Structure 1
Amino acid sequence: MKMTSTSFDFASWPPELSETQLEETTRYATTYALAHGLLYLPQLPIQPPIPSSAIHAPLSLFPTPIPRRLFSLAQQLQNFYNILYARIALDVEFLDKVMGAEEGVGRVDEFTGKLWRGWKEIRDEGVQRPLQLGLFRSDYLLHARENEPLELKQVEFNTISSSFGTLSEQTAKLHRYLHATTGYYDLSPVLKEENFPPNQTTAGLAEGLAAAHKAYGNKSAYILFVVQAGERNVFDQRWLEYALLERHSIHVVRQTFDELMTSASLDSNRVLKLTLPTKSAPIEISTIYFRAGYTPTDYPGTEHYSIRFLLERSKAINCPSIPLQLAGGKKVQEVLTQPGVLETFTKDWNYPGTTSQEFIDILRLSWMPMWGLDQTGERKILSGSEQHLGVQKARDRFSTLVLKPQREGGGNNVYKEAIPEFLDNLLPEERQAWIAMELISPPQGIQGYLIRSGSSSASGDTQHAPVKTEVISELGIFGWALFGFEDGHVDEKEVGWLVRTKGRESNEGGVATGFSVLDSIVLVDE
């Protein structure tokens, strides 16, 4: 059965490697990764304060084929999304209604409610908000409909801890290296230099942080990275730190919430300062970049929320602020698909070369149908109880759906056959925190050679086991936006991309959670 009208045969990808070629390519790939910082810390019961070993990140031996037309579309969309989510974060009334603890998701989702209530208290104090910075990533899958051209469909939009930008750049370099070294054994005509798109995500993300630092106005201030304890994905963060120092002469300090409890304070002007044992005087913070704080486990006690709210009260530019983090909620993604909602954020759209209606049409075409489980409307009696329309639709269509909560980090969704039992146990008051989304249908038959680092042996070595399996690849586009200026303008830029590839049998897609490997792109024509 012909699934799409594209001339590229996805089902024939990747070219078949002989056993000797596979062994050689794996050796080249893993040694390149180890030599070029494409790394994780090993999985240990407790990470030592001074790391003494590392393993390569999970990776793919071949890049993923992406139609040139859809890659260009994804890059264009990022500029639109940068501005859209900046505007959402500034719309207090909208966020209160959709995500708040009085009438929105925060009523039934404890984590969302705590963040919103802290933000509301800060607003009620009359604290003047500084500029806000977003380092974003919009994630997509290719969508195949029978006898139709491939489409680009958004999975989600990330507003906090949008990771793997720097390691994805290293993965793109890895695939260029494999091409330069082996020519991929002349196995495919699409594997040529001009089909490997450039990826400069590290410089792009650093540029966004540097723009916020410059807008803050104190060259001697530091940028604070708020990180999780025992972080294994530390090299993805360190590459940004090095770029800030080498390209912009900006220093970075890394702190966990626990460390900030003793180091952080605000002076009478709300200037955030950290008192550190390695510094003779407190240091001032210009920008706060959160690589933690997106999951309830980052806040084991009320004091952790208190630190987050202290940072929000400061004059430092938060990346993201609490409202921008709330804007990234799945419920916001669903509400935007409702008639007339997107138009409220685009009525004065003046992006060069694009009218407001064109902007709306392009964005809507990137969305799958979705709805809230709390959706009202017609009801019917099912198993002796009333069912909301949103729940009823999810029951009727469960085999084609994914249910999503207001969570980041991977591993939180409910898929297909697991949905009916989940709905049986979902309390009516919890429905508002969940959305249902039609599953995207990626092209079938595409395979990949995936390599993960093996378990550490007694000698400290790791074992590598390349596996060829049918895969699904997710494209992420990075961008940044600096906003909150008095004249309402948004400084924004699309700055790079990533690809994460997983076995088709896996529903989830996070690299850090162990479901995916890092990948890159080879552009193909239709």
Structure 2
Amino acid sequence: MPPFAFSNWPPSLSEDQLQELTLIATSYALSHGLLYLPVAAKQPPAPSSAIHAPLSLFPSPFPRQLFEQAQKLQHIYNTLYARIAMDEDFLDEVMGAVDGVGAVDEFVGQLWKGWKQVRDEDAVPLQLGLFRSDYLLHSTSDPPSLKQVEFNTISSSFGTLSDRVAGLHRYILFANGYYDSSPHLKAENFPPNNTTAGLAQGLAAAHEAYNVPGSSVLFVVQPGERNVFDQRWLEYELLERHSIKVIRQTMSDLAQTASIDLNTKVLTIKTATLSTPVEISTIYFRACYTPTDFPDSAAYELRFLLERSRAIKCPSIPLQLAGGKKVQQVLCQPGILERFLTPADASTSSFSQEDISELRASWMYMWGMDLNGDEGVEKALTNHGKLVLKPQREGGGNNVYKASIPPFLRTLDASERQAWIAMELIEPPEGLGGYLVRAAGPEQQRREHEGEQADKVVRADVVSELGIFGWALFGLGKVNRDEEVGWLVRTKGKDSDEGGVATGFSVLDSLVLV
């Protein structure tokens, strides 16, 4: 077989084949829960319709060796971020509201202040991290190398839907062989993806460690969530495979239903549909990662109330802070990785220098905007065409790219610079294409109703981002258990800087290993 060329992907299809493939893919998605709620001014309490999630018709090519490297690195990352979350001094220095990012970023500062008050009251119990490490291929070398985009410690989404889109692509392979359009489209090149089971395994491990019969897992969710099915599949997996019940609540719900026993720190939920209060073993946050989740001081106080409970948090506030972009940048500094991965305590497991070097090799060059007075800003102004600026935010749509950087930097005063980092842009392979399918919007639906053919599939030059999932259960200075549990791929048009599916930039995808 000749060497793989990214510029030759995807294989060519006739118009009839493309239409048939779109029908097969969308039908499979609707039949197998690869779903979103449709856009609405306000989501109804009981949804009556759904649309398929945005998806790619072909899996995206990815070098087998680099995929396996990303899986291997996940175990190191699981331990690294667990240890960061347990290092109060480090987080105080980097993210704190005295000298760290929290001094100039109100959201980070509020979280840090609440955490400091809570930790002064009692020891931190076990914590759970459901993680996702995101990567792009960097094409400045031949073959390309693996480079990390970011590491996610809160609300790492699309695990269950990525499981299903991998199943979709495997189904097409078995159903029609993708019309024999490429020798690379073979079963042995489609890696298994069991992310749903893997993430549920992490939540189940936390629930079992809490060890109170009859307790439940609490999902803290955002109101009007369109990506609800990605969460529901985890709920179903927990009940059907582990006999663990889930309670879903928004922060506004919890303001009415949550209470904590001041002596035992037991968190209970009491709703109109529950005959008796239910004790909570584990709190899984699919909300509280953005300032809009905290409209007033009462919302922050509620978050700190949850943190005070003896329920295992996923994530805890320190683990959420550990996912800050400033932490990612500080880790690049000499000696910081060794602090966490080769600790002086002989009873704590260490990683080899080879492991540490491999981890460092997956990073792009980063620096803080507060570097040496004006030096950080001057470097960013000089090199802005090859940079992205990142704040301490999750959820997509927050970064500043290339030509937008100079005018943006002029709006920052010296104190605000500490909240931003600069990262050299990863350069993905040129010429890679894909067929991207989104559910018809209101205008397309109107045209279809009137008998016109609405375009649902778009051929575009694309960039594909790989995410590797993992989890760690840890606390009181020790990582009890960690696992690498699956992956996702998000593919976007090459002209789009951002990569979020929920924010409308990307489609869900899977892999063909080359």
Instruction: Please tell me the TM-score bracket, short chain as reference.
Output: over 0.9
Identity of aligned residues (%): 65
- Residue 467 (structure 1) aligns with: 458
- Give the deviation of 1:262 after TM superposition: 0.6
- For residue 291 of structure 1, what is the amino acid of its counterpart? R
- For residue 477 of structure 1, what is the amino acid of its counterpart? I
- Residue 385 (structure 1) aligns with: none
The verdict on how the C-alpha distance between 1:235 and 1:431 changes in structure 2, with shifts beyond 3 A counting, is: same
1:93-132 equivalences under 5 Å are 93-124=89-120, 126-132=121-127
- Residue 377 (structure 2) aligns with: 391
- Residue 491 (structure 1) aligns with: 481
- Give the deviation of 1:427 after TM superposition: 1.4
- For residue 362 of structure 1, what is the amino acid of its counterpart? E
- Residue 328 (structure 1) aligns with: 323
1:61 aligns with 2:51: no
- Residue 413 (structure 1) aligns with: 399
- Residue 138 (structure 1) aligns with: 133
Contact 1:86 1:490 in 2 (8 A): no
- Residue 7 (structure 1) aligns with: 3
- Give the deviation of 1:343 after TM superposition: 1.0
Contact 1:223 1:253 in 2 (8 A): yes
Indicate the SS of the match to 1:490: strand
Match of 1:365 among 337, 361, 380: 361
Contact 1:452 1:464 in 2 (8 A): no
Distance across 2 between alignment mates of 1:174 and 1:340: 44
- Give the deviation of 1:464 after TM superposition: 5.1
- Give the deviation of 1:460 after TM superposition: 10
Contact 1:227 1:291 in 2 (8 A): yes
- Give the deviation of 1:458 after TM superposition: 6.0
Indicate the SS of the match to 1:512: coil
Deviations 1:88-114 (A, max 9, x none): 000000000000000100000000000
Distance across 2 between alignment mates of 1:211 and 1:182: 40
The verdict on how the C-alpha distance between 1:264 and 1:460 changes in structure 2, with shifts beyond 3 A counting, is: farther
Distance across 1 between alignment mates of 2:17 and 2:501: 26
Contact 2:222 2:287 in 1 (8 A): yes
Count of residue pairs brought into register by the alignment: 506
Contact 1:10 1:445 in 2 (8 A): yes
Deviations 1:291-343 (A, max 9, x none): 00000000011111111000000000000000000000000000000111111
The verdict on how the C-alpha distance between 1:463 and 1:310 changes in structure 2, with shifts beyond 3 A counting, is: farther
- For residue 42 of structure 1, what is the amino acid of its counterpart? P
Distance across 2 between alignment mates of 1:35 and 1:53: 13
1:123-522 equivalences under 5 Å are 123-124=119-120, 126-146=121-141, 148-267=142-261, 268-348=263-343, 355-376=351-372, 388-456=374-442, 457=445, 465-485=456-476, 488-522=478-512
Distance across 1 between alignment mates of 2:381 and 2:458: 36
Distance across 1 between alignment mates of 2:300 and 2:410: 33
Indicate the SS of the match to 1:140: strand
The verdict on how the C-alpha distance between 1:428 and 1:242 changes in structure 2, with shifts beyond 3 A counting, is: same
Distance across 2 between alignment mates of 1:351 and 1:140: 32
- Give the deviation of 1:492 after TM superposition: 0.2
Distance across 2 between alignment mates of 1:184 and 1:282: 53
Distance across 1 between alignment mates of 2:448 and 2:96: 49
More off after superposition, 474-483 vs 420-429: 420-429
- Give the deviation of 1:490 after TM superposition: 3.1
- Give the deviation of 1:121 after TM superposition: 1.0
More off after superposition, 457-466 vs 285-294: 457-466
Contact 1:160 1:325 in 2 (8 A): yes
Distance across 2 between alignment mates of 1:460 and 1:299: 41
- Give the deviation of 1:353 after TM superposition: 12
Contact 2:7 2:432 in 1 (8 A): yes
1:92 aligns with 2:88: yes
Contact 2:325 2:390 in 1 (8 A): yes
Contact 1:478 1:496 in 2 (8 A): yes
Distance across 1 between alignment mates of 2:498 and 2:144: 22
Distance across 1 between alignment mates of 2:207 and 2:500: 30
- Residue 16 (structure 1) aligns with: 12
Deviations 1:405-461 (A, max 9, x none): 000000000000000100111111100000000000000000000001121346997
The two structures, once aligned, show a CA RMSD in angstroms of: 1.8
- Give the deviation of 1:356 after TM superposition: 2.5
Unaligned runs of at least 5 residues, structure 2: none
The verdict on how the C-alpha distance between 1:433 and 1:256 changes in structure 2, with shifts beyond 3 A counting, is: same
Deviations 1:165-210 (A, max 9, x none): 0000000000001111111010100001110000000000000000
Distance across 2 between alignment mates of 1:368 and 1:134: 24
- For residue 250 of structure 1, what is the amino acid of its counterpart? I
Distance across 2 between alignment mates of 1:52 and 1:489: 44
Indicate the SS of the match to 2:410: helix
Distance across 2 between alignment mates of 1:511 and 1:161: 13
- For residue 126 of structure 2, what is the amino acid of its counterpart? L
Distance across 2 between alignment mates of 1:11 and 1:459: 34
- Give the deviation of 1:355 after TM superposition: 4.4
1:37 aligns with 2:27: no
Contact 1:483 1:490 in 2 (8 A): yes
The verdict on how the C-alpha distance between 1:352 and 1:446 changes in structure 2, with shifts beyond 3 A counting, is: farther
- Give the deviation of 1:149 after TM superposition: 2.0
Indicate the SS of the match to 2:341: coil
Indicate the SS of the match to 1:425: coil
Distance across 2 between alignment mates of 1:479 and 1:351: 24
- Give the deviation of 1:8 after TM superposition: 1.1
Indicate the SS of the match to 2:440: coil
TM-score with structure 2 setting the length:
0.96
Indicate the SS of the match to 2:468: strand
TM-score with structure 1 setting the length:
0.94
Distance across 1 between alignment mates of 2:326 and 2:388: 14
Distance across 2 between alignment mates of 1:351 and 1:137: 28
